[in-house]
């Protein structure tokens, strides 16, 4: 703004006269403004975080992964304590629960294996959970071991593997101050984890167990945490931290997961349909940024093996999708309307809209803005309309899943069918504004809409692929980009409807047993 005003008397006169001038607008102006405003019912209550939802989702996923990597080893290595069943079984054979824990903790087992001088080393047990046994080689060496094996029939002792800890490797261990690499194979029916104990010397042993499969795979970037095992302490203090052992791939069993997804559907949904109205296509969809819909649900999975699984579930989604689009047609395309002061200048138009939620007939009435100024039939009219579509549905997916890789982080892919039950499908016209100054909507007239909803049930397909991170024996998190598309949608009168693909990211929290 300029600081000083001109001394031109003409300017001063205009400025003084018009500075605080007020004029009276026409009586019906408020009605016209009101018809152009989104109706309050179409304004969804936006929570404070709504504008940041994408970044919050991204941050939450990243946070999960970072947290999982930063969890202390104690949470990652040896889950839980002896289960009540284990304790009772052991008490039956006369071992106290504490004794069982002490004698059978993985640290003790490894210590025994490393330090044993007998020719028949004790089996490697990792007994923190029921039926969980890790063994390098099974040589029953003591009555306790034999009794334990009999009592705990559910234990599965793996067959010795070529990399199993052997007397040869123990002899190598005895070599003074020599760095060794001793393979250790830990396996049971739930886990399948291979590793090596590295750098073992006479007086101290810095141990590092590395997943053999991970070493060979693309996932070798996962950091391996070394720990030091002073040999003098191994025997004395069995609670020392053990080498790092990763949880392996999930074997047979069940998983249940809570999922949340942000689903984006492109706004190519409002399309003109043939039928009543102008011959030319009236509506031209404007490009709009995709709007996210939130979906939440639960899925249960039966793991058929280490790779394949079957799962089903249910999810719910509800949102309001707002789309702005413009229509361009000729004034003369409409029919004459005789109900008003200007019978030869008012025209009515009917259009069909078709959206994934249904189809609708929209009725419009237009007239010249200035009644003394005749609008020619060939003149183009341009309207800008905003519609709000209310959608709520239940989804029931039936999926086959495939897991790839091993270790804590592994890939998952799913494919299957999705049944979608529509709970609500409404469409409202929020506003229609004439983009032409010469033509306007008839004052006081609200565009009518006759809405025919889509059929309640539709079927589509599901494709997804992503990553699952297993941060404890029981819990995993997963993030999966997902593509879904409904097939051959129709409204209740049998008219076909568009079926755009939806893209989203499913984030899940899973519990395994």
The residues binding other proteins (CB under 8 A) are: 1-2, 5-6, 8, 10-11, 13-15, 17-26, 29-30, 32-34, 36-40, 43, 369-370, 373, 375-376, 379, 431, 433, 435, 437-438, 440
Distance CA 331, CA 318 (A): 38
Backbone angles phi, psi at 87, to 5 degrees: -60, -45
Residue 4 or 171 with smaller CB distance to other proteins? 4
To 10 degrees, the CA torsion angle through 15, 18, 21, 27?
Answer: -150
Q: How far is the CB of 494 from other proteins (least distance, A)?
A: 36
Taking 3-state DSSP, the helix, strand and coil percentages for the chain, each rounded to the nearest 5, stand at 20, 40, 40
Residue 436 or 490 with smaller CB distance to other proteins? 436
Residue 37 or 459 with smaller CB distance to other proteins? 37
Q: How far is the CB of 408 from other proteins (least distance, A)?
A: 45
Q: How far is the CB of 278 from other proteins (least distance, A)?
A: 19
Q: How far is the CB of 53 from other proteins (least distance, A)?
A: 18
Residue 438 or 455 with smaller CB distance to other proteins? 438
Distance CA 420, CA 507 (A): 20
Distance CA 408, CA 328 (A): 57
Q: Which residue bears the tokens 């101050």?
A: 177
Residue 369 or 450 with smaller CB distance to other proteins? 369
Residue 151 or 330 with smaller CB distance to other proteins? 330
Residue 324 or 417 with smaller CB distance to other proteins? 324
Beta bridge partners of 295: 261, 317
Residue 37 or 276 with smaller CB distance to other proteins? 37
Nearest to 452 by CA among 489, 410, 487, 502: 489
Q: How far is the CB of 10 from other proteins (least distance, A)?
A: 6
Q: How far is the CB of 370 from other proteins (least distance, A)?
A: 4
Q: DSSP secondary structure string, 60-124?
A: HHHHHHHHHHHS-HHHHHS-S---HHHHHHHHHTT--HHHHHHHHSHHHHHHHHHH--SSSPPP-
Residue 297 or 334 with smaller CB distance to other proteins? 334
Distance CA 159, CA 210 (A): 20
Q: DSSP secondary structure string, 339-380?
A: SSS-TTT-EEEEEEEEETTEEEEEEEEEEESSTTSPPPTT-E
Q: How far is the CB of 20 from other proteins (least distance, A)?
A: 8
Q: How far is the CB of 438 from other proteins (least distance, A)?
A: 5
Q: DSSP secondary structure string, 413-477?
A: EEEEEEEEEEEEEEEEEEEEEES-SSEEEPTTPPPEEEEEEBPSEEEEEEEEEEEEEE-SSSEEE
Q: How far is the CB of 331 from other proteins (least distance, A)?
A: 10
Is 144 strand, coil or helix?
helix
């Amino acid at each position: 703004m300029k600081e000083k005003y001109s001394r031109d008397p003409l300017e001063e006169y205009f400025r003084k006269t018009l500075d605080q001038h007020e004029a009276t607008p026409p009586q019906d102006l408020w009605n016209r403004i009101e018809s152009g405003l989104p109706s309050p019912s179409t304004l969804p209550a936006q929570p404070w975080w709504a504008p940041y939802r994408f970044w919050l989702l991204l941050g939450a996923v990243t946070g999960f992964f970072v947290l999982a990597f930063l969890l202390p080893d104690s949470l990652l290595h040896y889950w839980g304590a002896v289960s009540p069943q284990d304790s009772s079984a052991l008490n039956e054979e006369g071992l106290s629960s504490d004794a069982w824990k002490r004698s059978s903790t993985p640290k003790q087992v490894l210590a025994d294996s490393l330090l044993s001088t007998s020719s028949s080393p004790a089996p490697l047990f990792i007994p923190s959970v029921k039926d969980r046994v890790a063994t390098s080689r099974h040589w029953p060496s003591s009555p306790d071991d034999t009794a334990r094996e009999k009592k705990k029939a559910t234990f599965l002792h793996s067959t010795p593997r070529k990399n199993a800890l052997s007397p040869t490797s123990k002899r190598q261990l005895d070599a003074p101050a020599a760095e060794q690499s001793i393979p250790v194979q830990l396996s049971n029916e739930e886990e399948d984890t291979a590793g090596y104990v590295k750098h073992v010397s006479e007086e101290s042993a810095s141990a590092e167990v590395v997943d053999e499969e991970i070493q060979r795979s693309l996932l070798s970037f996962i950091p391996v945490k070394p720990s030091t095992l002073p040999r003098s302490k191994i025997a004395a203090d069995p609670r020392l931290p053990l080498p790092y052992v990763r949880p392996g791939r999930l074997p047979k069993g069940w998983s249940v997961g809570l999922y949340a997804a942000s689903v984006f559907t492109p706004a190519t949904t409002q399309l003109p349909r043939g039928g009543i109205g102008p011959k030319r296509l009236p509506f031209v969809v404007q490009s709009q940024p995709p709007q996210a819909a939130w979906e939440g649900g639960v899925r249960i999975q039966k793991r058929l093996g280490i790779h394949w699984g079957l799962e089903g579930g249910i999810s719910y989604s509800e949102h309001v999708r707002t789309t702005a689009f413009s229509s361009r047609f000729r004034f003369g395309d409409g029919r004459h309307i005789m109900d008003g002061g200007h019978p030869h200048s008012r025209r009515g138009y009917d259009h069909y809209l078709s959206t994934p939620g249904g189809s609708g007939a929209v009725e419009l009435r237009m007239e010249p803005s200035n009644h003394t100024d005749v609008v020619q039939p060939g003149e183009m009219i341009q309207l800008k309309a905003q519609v709000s579509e209310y959608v709520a549905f239940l989804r029931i997916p039936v999926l086959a899943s495939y897991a790839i890789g091993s270790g804590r982080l592994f890939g998952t892919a799913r494919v299957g069918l999705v049944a979608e039950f529509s709970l609500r499908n409404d469409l409202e016209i929020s506003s229609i504004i004439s983009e032409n100054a010469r033509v306007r909507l008839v004052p006081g007239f609200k565009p009518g809409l006759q809405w025919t909803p889509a059929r309640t049930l539709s079927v589509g397909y599901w494709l997804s692929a992503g990553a699952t991170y297993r941060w404890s024996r029981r819990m995993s998190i997963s993030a999966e980009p997902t593509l879904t598309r409904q097939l051959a949608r129709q409204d209740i009168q049998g008219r076909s409807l568009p079926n755009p693909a939806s893209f989203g990211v499913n984030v899940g929290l899973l519990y395994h047993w």
